[in-house]
Structure formats: structure tokens, C-alpha cells
Amino acid sequence: MNALQLATKIKDNPKWRKAYDRILNANSHDQKMKAYQSFEKKFGINLNDAIGIYVKGFL
């Protein structure tokens, strides 16, 4: 799955969007890391690498 496909999936799926918004709205680095881990655990996609930057750009 490339970044555009992932961004489209996040945009179109409320569960994915809610999990992604938790990453964006985290107040601290620890909260952000927990949100990343939660997203990866739920959906099997690691956003900690470069793809996360591109996804943010598409949204």
C-alpha cells in the first residue's frame, strides 16, 4: 500500500481517521508514540517511517 492509498483509506474510514487523529492531536511525545503503536497494532501499518510524512501531506 502506498501513501496515497493509505491516506485515502484513512480519509474514507472513520475508525482509521480517529486513530490517525489521535497521533496528530497528541500533547506529548509519549502520547504520540503510544498513538503510533496503537495504530500499528490495530491496522498492521507502521507510520513511524517515511510513509507517515507523505500520508500527512495527502490529508
pLDDT given for residue 54 in this prediction? 74
pTM equals 0.79
The pLDDT of residue 45: 85
* Spatial separation of the C-alpha atoms in residues 27 and 58, rounded to whole Å: 23
pLDDT one-digit tens code per residue, 2-34: 888 888 999 999 999 999 999 989 999 999 999
29-43 vs 14-24: helix axis angle to the nearest 10?
160
Question: Where do the domains of the chain lie?
Answer: 3-58
pLDDT at 50 > cutoff 70? no
